[in-house]
Amino acid sequence: MNEPTQRIVDPDALRGFMFRLLAAAGCTEEAADAGAESLYEAELRGYGTHGLLRLPSMVLRIRSGMINTRAKVQVAMEREGSALVDADRSLGVVGALFGADLAIRKAKRAGCCAVGVLNGNHISMAGFYAEKIARAGCVGMITTVTTPLAHVLGGKERLLGTNPLAIAVPSGGDDPILVDFATTAISFGTVLKSRARGEAIPEGVALGPDGEPTTDAAQAARGALTPLAAHKGYGLSLVLGLLAGPLLGAKVGGELARSIAEKNHYDKGDLLIAIDPASFGDPAAFGEAVRAHLLEVTSSPLAPGFSEIRIPGERSFRERALRLKEGVPIEEGVWKEAAALAGELGVAVPE
Amino acid sequence: MNEPTQRIVDPDALRGFMFRLLAAAGCTEEAADAGAESLYEAELRGYGTHGLLRLPSMVLRIRSGMINTRAKVQVAMEREGSALVDADRSLGVVGALFGADLAIRKAKRAGCCAVGVLNGNHISMAGFYAEKIARAGCVGMITTVTTPLAHVLGGKERLLGTNPLAIAVPSGGDDPILVDFATTAISFGTVLKSRARGEAIPEGVALGPDGEPTTDAAQAARGALTPLAAHKGYGLSLVLGLLAGPLLGAKVGGELARSIAEKNHYDKGDLLIAIDPASFGDPAAFGEAVRAHLLEVTSSPLAPGFSEIRIPGERSFRERALRLKEGVPIEEGVWKEAAALAGELGVAVPE
């Protein structure tokens, strides 16, 4: 099959379009702005799977009542270095941003703070929040638990989420170092895209419904994703699911899937941790030491076949700068779906 | 070559032997006990690379002054949810245990606590400390930075440590869930063992000195280990090295290697985080939810070729129970080296 055609959209126009769609669907100005920002930042960084593509399903969830557009996000429990936030079924980004801001403020007093967010919704890119924390000067970590898509080591049934882990570290330069990965060997979005294109997926990244490893994307889409790096990714995914689920009073595994199916409630959690570098010394000296190590890393003699060494996050920041200048490529199929939604909601589609 | 022969040693006798060796080398009773416990627990769990094998190099480091047997471990900086510990060049386990205890006590008040340990030494198994924190009822996380052994993505020079990450979660049962892995695709110990046995290493886990991927253990031993899971492990290793190094005022990369070579000082750090489940609700309910998910996990339909599903950490706890009953197998070469050291130090060797 052919590569789907794309159109180039002006960044400001794209963000405005996203905002108006969310506002027309009933979001408050603040929620629509936060939602648009997270989708827009995903598109700028080249993560189309977390961009405009997601907007129609957000609107469906608003209509079904899973997402509450009149939510009042509140702190439910609080100690010096921790807090539990009740997101009141708000748009995912709203609860998680509330949690990130709280984690930053509390970490700057207590040194470190762990914030759990309950009763939120899909938070899109985990790295978005880790980056916010790092840009405020703290080390940021975040994990979240998703509905089951991956098998456990030795099992063939979907029991683990793709449970991403994102860590961002202030770099002493313009952009933080940003690590953000799912704990599966491949994303479900990539499987679906490969299936749509009739392409194979790599070996060792998924099982078919029979539990046998498969490179057939259609089989994988009906089977289960494999955790990254065998027992290491299995273990990491399992514990992250427990930290973003049961630790916060939320669900995980089959119970999480049932909370959506039976109660139309995405009963998962998000765990955000902020650490203030001032707790351990002079943040400026930390920044200098980080810069020195990054210089050493990017100056490493190259292995055969490589032309440069990139710092984690660098590719997406470069892409962001490029797209801000040259526009954002959006797949036609994604655009058409958003335009159809705009028609329904009475929102003008950008030229 | 043949598998090296082993002897079976009584667990109590082994621990006592380790204690007497460390005490004879100048450690205080408390330090010798902590050091022996960590080596002994590694042997019980089947991690010989972190057991008796390490004792002679510890003694060498005591003799060279890298490890200070009269160290006074102290808190250098402290906030409600953080602390920086100056380990005063004590035996690695002493500083890290001090840090773990402090993290637990402070997390139980503040909800979460991040403790940095500076001026420590090699801490052996990272999981040892995460497990201590979990057995005290908190979620435990720890990372540490090691001297460079791994290349960055695209590079061929050693710049990253094996920087392990360990996370332990109270399970609501007897043993915690314990994830503990190096961020390299293979451990350096495995490379050295394969070289000694004339065995190949798997594909994709190391580069030779020329920067080309190799399965020749001798080439790999002179080259660099590959981070696990490509860019994911590279990113994770890089940020963990920054968190256990520069964030705490310690070194990373080439500077860390030089601190040993030039100053005989292992100028790295350890970062320990404890989170108190009571910060987010009822710890008993958390335990129940964890147990329910673990039951779901171990009850998963099996994939072809598997006969059971194990919880992370379970293998090592089973091995521990077995070795406590049946004795600890120690490789003859390791035993002889320890016995020779005992001769020098005037310590009786167990029968």
Do residues B203 and B213 make contact, with C-beta atoms less than 8 angstroms apart?
yes
pLDDT at residue B97, rounded to an integer: 98
- Residue B178: beta bridge partners? B168
Distance from CA of B338 to the nearest CA of A (A): 32
Nearest residue to A91 via CA among A49, A52, A35, A41:
A35
| A19-78 tens-digit pLDDT | 999 999 999 999 999 999 999 999 999 999 899 999 999 999 999 999 999 999 999 999
CB crowding B245-280: b at 16 or more within 10 Å, else e: bbbbbbbbbbbbbebbeeeebbbbbbbbbbbbbbbb
B203 in contact with A at a CB cutoff of 8 Å? Answer: no
In this prediction, residue A351 has a pLDDT band, given cuts at 50, 70 and 90, of: confident
pLDDT at residue B3, rounded to an integer: 58
Residue A131's CB is within 10 A of a number of other CB atoms, namely 26
pLDDT at residue A3, rounded to an integer: 58
Residue of B nearest to A299 (CA): B155
A42 contacts: CB under 8 Å, gap ≥ 6: A48, A49, A50, A51, A124, A125, A128
Instruction: Inspect the interface and report whether the beta carbons of A111 and B80 lie closer than 8 Å.
Output: yes
What phi, psi does A309 have (nearest 5°)? Answer: -120, 130
DSSP E strands in A100-186: the ranges are: 112-118, 139-144, 165-169, 177-181
CA distance A73 to A75: 7
Among candidates B154, B169, B249 on the partner chain, residue whose Cβ is nearest the Cβ of A242: B169
CB crowding A258-280: b at 16 or more within 10 Å, else e: ebbeeeebbbbbbbbbbbbbbbb
A133 in contact with B at a CB cutoff of 8 Å? Answer: no
Distance from CA of B187 to the nearest CA of A (A): 13
Query: Token pair for residue B270?
Result: 């350890």
A253 in contact with B at a CB cutoff of 8 Å? Answer: yes
pLDDT at residue B18, rounded to an integer: 98
pLDDT at residue A189, rounded to an integer: 87
Q: What is the mean pLDDT of residues A202-228?
A: 97
Among candidates A113, A297, A303 on the partner chain, residue whose Cβ is nearest the Cβ of B112: A113
Question: Own/partner pairs for A26-33, CB < 8 Å, 24+ apart?
Answer: A26/A62, A26/A69, A27/A62, A27/A69, A27/A91, A28/A69, A28/A70, A30/A94, A31/A69, A31/A71, A31/A90, A31/A91, A31/A94
Give the strand pairing for A177-181 and A165-169: antiparallel
CA distance B122 to B57: 11
User: Within chain B, which residues score under 50 in pLDDT?
Assistant: 1
Q: Is the full-model pTM beyond 0.90?
A: yes
pLDDT at residue B172, rounded to an integer: 86
Residue of A nearest to B103 (CA): A112
| A250-283 tens-digit pLDDT | 999 999 999 999 999 999 999 999 999 999 999 9
Q: Is the ipTM of this complex over 0.95?
A: yes
Query: Token pair for residue A115?
Result: 């914030």
3-state DSSP call for residue A181? strand
Query: Token pair for residue B55?
Result: 């004792």
B258 in contact with A at a CB cutoff of 8 Å? Answer: no
Mean pLDDT (chain B) is 96
Give whole-number Cα distances, A180 to A47, A175, A225, B44, in Å: 12, 14, 18, 35
List the single best residue of B297, B299, B306, B307 to mutate versus A (max A Cβ within 10 A).
B297
Among candidates A207, A280, A308 on the partner chain, residue whose Cβ is nearest the Cβ of B154: A308
Contacts of A131 in chain B (CB under 8 A): none
pLDDT at residue B148, rounded to an integer: 98
Instruction: Inspect the interface and report whether the beta carbons of B156 and A252 lie closer than 8 Å.
Output: no
Do residues B142 and B130 make contact, with C-beta atoms less than 8 angstroms apart?
yes
Helix boundaries (H) for chain A: 11-24, 29-44, 55-64, 92-110, 126-135, 188-197, 217-222, 231-244, 254-263, 283-298, 314-326, 332-345
Query: Token pair for residue A70?
Result: 């009149």
Helix boundaries (H) for chain B: 11-24, 29-45, 55-64, 92-110, 127-135, 188-197, 217-222, 231-244, 253-263, 283-298, 314-326, 332-345
Distance from CA of A323 to the nearest CA of B (A): 23
Considering only residues 144 to 163 of chain A, which have any Cβ-Cβ distance to chain B shorter than 8 Å? 151-157, 159
DSSP assignment of B72-135, as one string? --EEEEEETTEEEEE-TT--HHHHHHHHHHHHHHHHHHHSEEEEEEES----S-THHHHHHHHH
Q: What is the DSSP letter of A310?
A: -
Do residues A272 and A117 make contact, with C-beta atoms less than 8 angstroms apart?
yes
Do residues B214 and B223 make contact, with C-beta atoms less than 8 angstroms apart?
yes
B251 contacts: CB under 8 Å, gap ≥ 6: A289, B245, B258, B259, B267, B268
Amino acid residing at A209: P
pLDDT at residue B173, rounded to an integer: 87
CA distance B12 to B14: 5
Backbone Cα Rg of chain A? 20
